Amino acid sequence: MDAILVEVLTKEFGDMTAVDGVSFTVKEGEIFGYLGPNGAGKTTTIRMLTTLVPPTFGRASIFGYDIKEQAYEAKQQFGVVPEVSNSYDDLSVWQNLMLSGQLYSIPKAQRVTKGEELLSVLGLNDHRDKRSKHLSKGLRRRLVLGMALITSPRLLFLDEPTSGLDVESVRLFREMMTDLVKKGTTIFLTTHNIEEASLLCDRVAIIVKGKIVALDSPERLRMTIAASRSITISVAEAPANIESLLSSMATVTAVLKEGDKWRMFTPDPPRVLLELNIMIANYGIKPISINTYGPSLEDVFLSVVKNERGS
Ligand SMILES: Nc1ncnc2c1ncn2[C@@H]1O[C@H](COP(=O)(O)OP(=O)(O)OP(=O)(O)O)[C@@H](O)[C@H]1O
Ligand SMILES: [Mg+2]
């Protein structure tokens, strides 16, 4: 059975269509990425799927339960880490965990055991009695993940869980996601971080202005990422044929002049840097600056949208 089934799901706010007829399925046990820029409609999709806002049109079900007709049953299937952490300010870390368990009628012994386990895996033992409003952003986010997991849900919605967190918290979140999926949990993850989507997800939907423009394995995303890496060089002195020299390098796929810089696109920036060094010495090129760039989200979207249209 599909963990999530979505058909032509649409949300309008007045004249504005935030989510524009999206359809997809999420298979049980996968990490499904929902990747898009700010304002694409990611949070609105999650809010509809988690029954917080009603769709204007279309339908969806969670493990077979219709989100409108069987909202109660649907809600029993998932946990949510929303975009904005929703723990209760004046309750302690432990009280927040226990309350979340109570709301879902988890028997006391079970929620205490699970709560202790979560404090430990989330690195929250030292903060157990701290009020939620006194937690740092990253710790609060960990608590909210704990609150979502106290019921051991079979499906977890995570709305940009790692956004704005430090390296250690990001690693913890990613490790937890991988562990949960190993144990059979299904994860719906929104992100605007391409690397995160390609690292973690089994499949990725790319959403732009409310529409899904691509739905793919991360393999193609990775290829797109690779193809949109670039190196720029600005020079004080260079031979007249610099453009053809730069283009002649083995892994350079295109060269663009941008103001006082040349931009070389390449799937292999380190190799181009090596060749560039040799060229600089051989042709008396005097560089002012050399920079390496990863792909921007826009590059990837443009490329995906172009490919979609072309295919
Ligand atoms: N309650 C609302 N009323 C009116 N417009 C809304 C409402 N909620 C969202 N929108 C609009 O819908 C669009 C999609 O918003 P949404 O929050 O779903 O985007 P997002 O992909 O989650 O973006 P971000 O990456 O910034 O979190 C935006 O243009 C937003 O302004
Ligand atoms: Mg959002």
What are the per-10-residue average pLDDT scores of the chain (311 residues)? 96 97 97 92 97 97 97 96 94 97 94 97 96 95 96 97 91 94 96 87 92 85 76 90 92 90 90 94 92 75 60 45
Predicted confidence at residue 296, as pLDDT, reads 65
| Inter-CA distances, 245 with 90, 240, 248, 293, Å | 65, 10, 5, 20
191 Cβ inside 6 Å of ligand 1: no
- CA–CA–CA angle 15, 18, 24 (5° rounding): 135
Q: 2-217, which class in CATH?
A: alpha beta
- CA–CA–CA angle 297, 269, 280 (5° rounding): 130
Q: CA nearest 269: which of 235, 233, 238, 306?
A: 233
What ligand has the least distance to the C-alpha of 82?
Answer: 2
Predicted confidence at residue 298, as pLDDT, reads 65
164 Cβ inside 6 Å of ligand 1: no
CA 95/CA 109 separation, integer angstroms: 15
Predicted confidence at residue 311, as pLDDT, reads 45
Locus of tokens 């060269």: 255
Closest ligand 1 atom, residue 36 Cα: 21
For the chain, domain boundaries: 2-217, 229-294
C-beta separation of 41 from 17 below 8 A? no
Name the token pair of 82.
């929303």
228 Cβ inside 6 Å of ligand 1: no
Q: CA nearest 35: which of 25, 21, 20, 45?
A: 45
Predicted confidence at residue 310, as pLDDT, reads 52
| Inter-CA distances, 154 with 131, 239, 248, Å | 29, 63, 53
Q: Is 210 helix (H, G, I), strand (E, B) or coil?
A: coil
Q: Is 58 helix (H, G, I), strand (E, B) or coil?
A: strand
C-beta separation of 88 from 77 below 8 A? no
Pocket test for ligand 1, best of 11, 12, 42, 44 (most atoms within 8 A of CB): 44
Output the residue whose Cα is nearest ligand 1's atom 2: 13
What 3 state SS string does 268-304 have?
A: CHHHHHHHHHHHHHHHCCEEEEEEEECCCHHHHHHHH
Measured between its terminal Cα atoms, the distance across the chain in Å is: 30
Name the token pair of 291.
């920079």
CATH topology of domain 229-294: Alpha-Beta Plaits (3.30.70)
What is the DSSP code string of 122-155?
TT-GGGTTSBGGGS-HHHHHHHHHHHHHTT--SE
Q: Is 55 helix (H, G, I), strand (E, B) or coil?
A: coil
**Burial (0-12, 13-18, 19+ Cβ within 10 Å), 90:** exposed
Output the residue whose Cα is nearest ligand 1's atom 6: 13
Predicted confidence at residue 30, as pLDDT, reads 96
